[in-house]
Structure 1
């Protein structure tokens, strides 16, 4: 692509047409992934979440779907836990004959909408830079009339749309949550810039106060939609603050009321203090007990995330298949600042970059450099700090990449335009920036087009991942090859001996295929489970495997054999594990005719999880049994 000088009308028209072509190309590249597999959280959130499988569009059905987030999150204000995302899934279950394909198709469409929003936001931000005359990495970036500037939003959008790291967000069904949150955030940020530009150019007396109020209310409205799609949508307000600091610098039209200016700055300060307070709250709330449910402490997580954030940037610059293997559960944990030593280097690097960003703001220089740094750090400040989530996931970069990419392209395009290079060479450079990610994305989508291809790829690029081998085991189990599944779980356990769930999965295999495993093998499995449960952590994977084990080991003799495991599970720090153990003991007691004991365990389950459907159903059976024999007393 050779950069020419266009007049404004022609340039805008060309970039818009090229954006349409880029959107079409993106859709074509992603189409093979529509038939791809469901993964990880898709099962619990979508497949077995019966409340999403609505039969009508009544208020009760829609409300049940919107509040159907599974696990412990359901007990904490379910209406605030991603209801928009769950409602979108439910509507697709209702209207589609093939929900699996429909989920991915909708995700691709949302990805394209996000691309349009990225284009619009970066375009109006460039307009703000040019109107304010702020210094950028290249003075010509906003000061000249060169047509190169008009290409910046287009290039940012195209690279973002076609970057291979986005594949694992778009084709992972449940990450609809991340996509919707990002879409609403980008809309809110665009509305903020438009409203804020009005206050910079005009006094409130010259503009209808209702217009200004409507502008800021619309920002809050779309921020709420982002939050109700996924909780980190609340970061939209902090990103508004980043835009304010880097592009507007808290400067208003001279005629604006001082009281309004003071209130605006006070609100910004309160926003920062509230966010810091929340992060500190999560640090002290989660710090004491995190090692009971995770394989790291919160301090170790914070140190590790300093390295992970650099790793994300490395993947952005060098997105080869070996780096983007989706399952990063074997990422090494930082034990201290010096173990490994790259932890200290990473922490020092982020402190230095943050200092540079703040210094640039203070000196009113290089706003795009400050913007890229601050946007990236703020957008990661929820999932990569004190909230005790898993260490590494690619989808966390879906929104954070926009800022650094914008800064990079805004520096690169004017530099290429001014360089003493032939037009053909300039075009080749810019085309390579687009075509290389596009080809890598095409390759990655081909892996995601089927479960077998995806698992083969994972084993090839990341054979040291326990979770990869757990996926291999599940694939073989679904294919009716229990021996291969058992061996894969053995590999997974050897890579992560503290994860009890792998042995539980082997026990489930033994229950499903009792003729293939002798008594000694099964007893050894039970002893290994009991021994492992005595040592932390008790992870979510372990809890899920315990629930699966109850479903598969439904034979009364098998359940009775597992009773010591359920009894030990009652001492788990995870409430889900305790609920599942109580339910297992209730099943055993009910089968033995110990109705009072069964009721006690079921009441314990329903006290913690009132909507536990299996426990509700079993309690009704206990009620019927007691009603049939009211004089029966079991001691």
Structure 2
């Protein structure tokens, strides 16, 4: 039976699309209000400083989540600064809205691709676009991309990428030359910039456009105009060659170096061995979803140490090798197969090859998964025109399964205690899952199980120092054993060979509290100073500016809380010299003013002038703060002199 052609049925694909959007919106709304997760804090904590355009610009341009700073994503967070850190539902609602827009972009991309490919049936192309958008939008395995606030960076980048690719494809379907050129420039030029500055893997847009051009668009439909070919050369070919060259040179350099340094407990070779195993699991979770696999905690997936360690390593390599060979052999008979596979694998080329990132994250599939769903739907709806309706019913049933699993995930997302147990059982290697479960035990007042959970994490991964530190914060009904625990953790801090800067940041945060450990009174500020000293003795932490600065600040704040400001002043100074930080810069002058040592305070303000960052925006902010603080210092000194708290011999510069 042919695709329905009656006028009334031409709009049915759009009905399916709208229904899909409503289903997705309804499913994700069940996950509200949601909550903050591990990567939200280091990336968004400075939102508390955003209260005007100047501070918003500073937040947007000072990002360090990636090498390019991701300012487009940070701009969207800055617009919601008032939601931090009390209203995660406000930020999650924007995440869900971005996903809905991405579904529309996927519809236009898939429909455009189907319109180009045989049988070039406009109605069938709309059906293909609607089903691809439906399955991709409902895919449960991709849900953490939206349920984790910070992963807006992934979805926003993907929105621009899919929109850019859609414009690129539809440029091949219009006869209007000016419109075609505008679509190429907007899609490939502006789309690449916006996607890349949302998250770095947006730079794959030109390479994926090249994939579409080579593996899908027939040669006779390539654009042949001089200006258009120039645009394709500048906006597709050159960026693709740059990306491939960058990855190739990086690959050679990484293999020559032989390791990732202290940040990772696996080598580049082990990472490459492991990736086919991970891609195989991605494929399984995307096509055969299970609710328990939709977890934010995917760290510490054990890497493959050899071809048979574990045996699935060799199996995965043979599987993907066979699949690629079959796709190439069948490229003329089944172009959807080679295109879908090529899009999926090339979509992973940046985050899932040799670059020293963590091994496994579901959100890395947000863009690559499009290739799988397009190939699946295109095959189902074009392989046998006589069975179009049967194929459509099967796809609807498949979408229903996705819907049920997604609703299962989102309806229970806020049941943190149950999820914590399930997620840890699913991934017993995850340190973050241990920490999350411990937090739920603590929220329920079950401090003994919270401590036991952290102890298990430390036993399984003794090199991960954050869990070692967190153990010392809980010793309810076990205070007598704290000295032994403290000594054990000190030894771990001094000797660990794994570099994770979060432990230094956590020490810094803890030391600022008047009561650092309510659940373990023996862990006083003096104990925190011992822990900071132990970590400073570890060259992996003590010789790196970032962590050394945080540890010096931890000691300084601890001394302030102990009532020893004289000991804190030199530590604050050294910390700022090590890593200029505008939020810590004025701690030393403030303490010196309290001690009546104004001359030394002015001298350090002069020193801060030399530490002003080169960035125009940051530099301006520093100068404004310095000028304001100098005025406060002069006022304070004047008052102290008037009230006789300073000796007459004291002179200001």
Say whether the 8 Å CA contact 2:271–2:304 is kept in structure 1: yes
CA distance in 2, matches of 1:432, 1:179: 26
CA distance in 2, matches of 1:385, 1:241: 20
CA distance in 2, matches of 1:335, 1:329: 17
Aligned residue for 1:546?
Answer: 507
Shift of 1:228: 1.2
CA distance in 2, matches of 1:263, 1:216: 7
1:260–1:55 distance in 2 versus 1, CA, 3 Å: closer
The number of equivalent residue pairs is: 589
Q: How does 1:452-467 map to 2 (within 5 A)?
A: 452-463=417-428, 465-467=430-432
CA distance in 2, matches of 1:493, 1:532: 12
Say whether the 8 Å CA contact 1:566–1:582 is kept in structure 2: no
Say if 2:55 is the partner of 1:61.
Answer: yes
| Superposed CA RMSD | 3.3
CA distance in 1, matches of 2:525, 2:169: 64
Out of 3, 6, 9, the position equivalent to 2:4 is: 6
Out of 184, 193, 206, the position equivalent to 1:215 is: 184
Shift of 1:436: 0.6
Out of 86, 90, 108, the position equivalent to 2:78 is: 90
Aligned residue for 1:195?
Answer: 171
Aligned residue for 2:622?
Answer: none
Name whichever of 535-544 and 25-34 sits farther off: 535-544
1:250–1:578 distance in 2 versus 1, CA, 3 Å: farther
Which structure carries more relative contact order (alpha carbon 8 Å, separation 6+)? 1
Aligned residue for 1:184?
Answer: 160
Say if 2:428 is the partner of 1:440.
Answer: no
Report SS of the residue matched to 2:585: helix
Report SS of the residue matched to 1:123: helix
Shift of 1:104: 1.1
Where do 5+ consecutive residues of structure 1 fail to align? 131-141
Say if 2:487 is the partner of 1:487.
Answer: no
CA distance in 1, matches of 2:223, 2:180: 19
Say whether the 8 Å CA contact 2:17–2:130 is kept in structure 1: yes
CA distance in 1, matches of 2:353, 2:289: 24
Report SS of the residue matched to 1:411: helix
Aligned residue for 2:526?
Answer: 557
Say if 2:287 is the partner of 1:293.
Answer: no
Report SS of the residue matched to 2:197: helix
1:533–1:406 distance in 2 versus 1, CA, 3 Å: farther
CA distance in 1, matches of 2:265, 2:457: 15
CA distance in 1, matches of 2:223, 2:88: 56
Out of 277, 301, 306, the position equivalent to 1:336 is: 306
CA distance in 2, matches of 1:499, 1:342: 27
Name whichever of 482-491 and 576-585 sits farther off: 576-585
Q: How does 1:189-588 map to 2 (within 5 A)?
A: 189-198=165-174, 207-208=177-178, 212=181, 215-249=184-218, 251=220, 256-257=225-226, 261=229, 264=232, 270-283=238-251, 284=253, 287-288=257-258, 290-358=260-328, 364-415=332-383, 417-419=385-387, 428-463=393-428, 465-509=430-474, 516-518=477-479, 520-551=481-512, 554=516, 555-569=524-538, 571-572=540-541, 575-587=545-557
Aligned residue for 1:22?
Answer: 20
Shift of 1:354: 3.8
CA distance in 1, matches of 2:551, 2:32: 38
Shift of 1:350: 3.0
1:574–1:386 distance in 2 versus 1, CA, 3 Å: farther
1:447–1:541 distance in 2 versus 1, CA, 3 Å: farther
Aligned residue for 2:109?
Answer: 121
Say whether the 8 Å CA contact 1:300–1:336 is kept in structure 2: yes
Shift of 1:149: 5.1
Name whichever of 152-161 and 289-298 sits farther off: 289-298
1:149–1:248 distance in 2 versus 1, CA, 3 Å: closer
CA distance in 2, matches of 1:556, 1:178: 39
Shift of 1:244: 0.9
Shift of 1:96: 9.3
1:114–1:52 distance in 2 versus 1, CA, 3 Å: farther
1:214–1:583 distance in 2 versus 1, CA, 3 Å: same
Where do 5+ consecutive residues of structure 2 fail to align? 517-523, 602-653
Report SS of the residue matched to 2:294: coil
Report SS of the residue matched to 2:80: helix
Shift of 1:544: 4.3
Name whichever of 568-577 and 409-418 sits farther off: 568-577
TM-score by length of 1: 0.83
User: For residues 422-454 of structure 1, what are the alpha-carbon distances to aligned partners after superposition, in whole Å with 9 as ceiling and x for unaligned?
Assistant: x6x656523321111100100011221332342
Say whether the 8 Å CA contact 2:380–2:391 is kept in structure 1: no
1:264–1:107 distance in 2 versus 1, CA, 3 Å: closer
1:581–1:151 distance in 2 versus 1, CA, 3 Å: same
User: For residues 318-373 of structure 1, what are the alpha-carbon distances to aligned partners after superposition, in whole Å with 9 as ceiling and x for unaligned?
Assistant: 11124434422242211123322322332343344444545566xx5532212111
Report SS of the residue matched to 1:434: helix
CA distance in 1, matches of 2:418, 2:62: 32
